[in-house]
Structure 1
Amino acid sequence: MTSHYRSAFAPGLLHGRVIVVTGGGSGIGRCTAHELASLGAHVVLIGRNLAKLQDTAGEIVADGGRASFHACDIRHEDTVRTVVTAIVGAHGRIDGLVNNAGGQYITPLENISAKGWQAVIDTNLTGGFLMARECYVQSMQERGGSIVNIVADMWGSMPGMGHSGAARAGMVNFTETAALEWARSGVRVNAVAPGYIASSGMDHYPPEAGDMLRAMRKTVPAGRFGNEAETSAAIAFLLSPAAAFISGTVLRVDGARPQARMGWPMELPDAQAQQRPAVRPYDGFHLAQTPRVFQDK
């Protein structure tokens, strides 16, 4: 393990950029913030847990990067507007937004209450819309920018998480619509759809879900879970100048899982095949933490 983030991209790629990362205190958001900072960006961490934001910002600064943070519940319109105003006031602009904050719980559709449904929709769809709208209106409309919305592998269905699937599908359509409407301002809007990623978010699922979570890799043609750094690399690419002609699309980071089909035998790669250069896991995040469900298993 190295003492600094090992990005696949050129040093200084995002030098001077101001990039907001929601849900930046843990999981994919934390990893992404580290990578963007390692590439020269000033990352602004957004989240509800102030202690986690402080810890992540401290890690980034200790590594020589630049970071600041704001406590914010993205579901509340006035709060989002105030926080974005503060960011623009402090930095003069917002160049990028990673709409990563989200969450859901496992339950069948018939057991989801209206309150539970609305809470997931507000977190995974409405909150992302509010953040994107305010970043656009308060900065990007005049200066341009790039937005990356984090969705999920919800193609076909999302059993056990129907509320999240509906919200993520809505965010994909929002991504496509915003890419069209905001192109006139020099704003690109894309999405990244992580599949089964070994992230700290899995620690929020109940212990009884452990066996199911551990078995999920067998449904992935790549034969394994992805990691946070592999997701962050996709986000960094879409924020970078190399993606200047990419907008309105979804980049899936899922090991071909949605392509699995009944009736076609799943031939998982063996350990030797999984170490071949084209598919070997990319371990760029020096502070990555293995989810508890996979520890000692």
Structure 2
Amino acid sequence: MTADRYRSVFAPGLFKGRTVVVTGGGSGIGRCTAHELAALGAHVVLVGRNAAKLEAVAGEIAHDGGAASFHICDIRQEVAVQSMVQAIVAARGRIDGLVNNAGGQYITPLEKISAKGWDAVVATNLTGGFLVAKECYLQSMQAHGGAIVNIVADIWGSMPGMGHSGAARAGMVSFTETAAMEWARSGVRVNAVAPGYIASSGMDHYPPEAGPMLREMAETVPAGRFGTEAETSAGIVFLLSPAAAFISGTVMRIDGARPQVRMGWGQVSAPVEAQSRDAVKPFNGFHRYQTPKVFQS
């Protein structure tokens, strides 16, 4: 740990009195975002399938002086999502923000993806996000307004090796744009954040043989490095904040210009001395950040 509190760039108390739901809040980007929102005064509701992880993060937030609760839910199940949102509204009165972060995929070429595998990834990364957003809208935001941020991925150029995830994430971008249009009449904003190569615990879910490839990916990023969880969280928090009141239906890329890489350019990644300059050096505001095992020596 570098400090005993989250070091956010946003004003203290920014989300005081607000309730924000974070799916997939038990690890990685979701955990980091939950910590930042709680440090800024929000009551964070963690949602996921692993009770132990959710309880641990809620305990961390409470230890740091924040407020959090959690609900165990399989977001792929419509009835379960309806009940989960109903319980949150009953306990908190309303839902002011939603971070649709839960997701997952595995590396495999298209021809080896079974129908079951395809359906599982699409259900998690697209259908589940739709169900949670719809219920938050119907049960709270339609009457009170709110802000939704859907977490997608670097799909520009698509996702060879993870075509099921690429298709689902592209679908979520379209859903984001449609919801932003249809729900604007209720005072609801809907945006997306597309993380690029972020050094989060999600990288440890890939098989050990993927380790060398994962460690070398930074060389393909013009910024010359991996992004941090805190840099991703900052984008999410901004889009949830009042400063983004006129931003809806858009995707914020957090990727160090990775999709702009083209063959024939020569050296892609910035040299070490450039990476240390103030405008681009890493921001690590999350005091409880844990380096993914794949990057540990």
If the length of structure 1 is used for normalisation, what is the TM-score? Answer: 0.99
Q: Alpha-carbon deviation of 1:264?
A: 1.5
Q: Whole-Å Cα distance in 2 between the matches of residues 152 and 247 of structure 1?
A: 18
Q: Whole-Å Cα distance in 2 between the matches of residues 189 and 266 of structure 1?
A: 37
Q: Whole-Å Cα distance in 2 between the matches of residues 201 and 227 of structure 1?
A: 12
Q: Whole-Å Cα distance in 2 between the matches of residues 280 and 212 of structure 1?
A: 23
> Match for residue 13 of structure 2?
12
For residues 59-92 of structure 1, give each alpha carbon's deviation from its aligned partner in whole angstroms, at most 9, with x where no partner exists. Answer: 0000000000000000000000000000000000
For residues 174-204 of structure 1, give each alpha carbon's deviation from its aligned partner in whole angstroms, at most 9, with x where no partner exists. Answer: 0000000000000000000000000000111
Amino acid at match of 2:94: R
> Match for residue 260 of structure 1?
261
> Match for residue 75 of structure 2?
74
1:36 aligns with 2:34: no
Counterpart of 2:164 in 1: which secondary structure?
helix
Q: Whole-Å Cα distance in 1 between the matches of residues 130 and 264 of structure 2?
A: 39
If the length of structure 2 is used for normalisation, what is the TM-score? Answer: 0.99
Amino acid at match of 1:140: M
For residues 224-283 of structure 1, give each alpha carbon's deviation from its aligned partner in whole angstroms, at most 9, with x where no partner exists. Answer: 000100000000000000000000000000000000011212342222211111001000
Q: Whole-Å Cα distance in 2 between the matches of residues 65 and 41 of structure 1?
A: 8
> Match for residue 226 of structure 1?
227
Q: Alpha-carbon deviation of 1:122?
A: 0.1
Match runs of 1:51-200 below 5 Å:
51-200=52-201
For residues 105-164 of structure 1, give each alpha carbon's deviation from its aligned partner in whole angstroms, at most 9, with x where no partner exists. Answer: 000000000000000000000000000000000000000000000000011120110000
Q: Whole-Å Cα distance in 1 between the matches of residues 272 and 159 of structure 2?
A: 29
User: Where in structure 1 do 4 or more consecutive aligned residues deviate above 6 Å?
Assistant: none
Q: Whole-Å Cα distance in 2 between the matches of residues 268 and 130 of structure 1?
A: 39
Flag structure 1 segments of 5+ consecutive residues without an equivalent: none
8 A Cα contact 1:109 1:161, kept in partner: yes
8 A Cα contact 2:220 2:268, kept in partner: no
> Match for residue 204 of structure 1?
205
> Match for residue 270 of structure 2?
269
Counterpart of 1:118 in 2: which secondary structure?
helix
Amino acid at match of 1:262: M
Q: Whole-Å Cα distance in 1 between the matches of residues 129 and 269 of structure 2?
A: 36
Amino acid at match of 1:282: F
8 A Cα contact 1:260 1:266, kept in partner: no
Counterpart of 1:197 in 2: which secondary structure?
coil
8 A Cα contact 1:21 1:29, kept in partner: yes
Size of the alignment, in residue pairs? 296
8 A Cα contact 2:7 2:285, kept in partner: yes
8 A Cα contact 2:98 2:148, kept in partner: yes
Counterpart of 2:44 in 1: which secondary structure?
strand
Distance 1:267 1:203, change over 3 A: closer
Counterpart of 1:198 in 2: which secondary structure?
coil
Identity of aligned residues (%): 77
8 A Cα contact 1:226 1:254, kept in partner: yes
What's the C-alpha RMSD, in Å, of the aligned pairs? 0.5
1:240 aligns with 2:241: yes
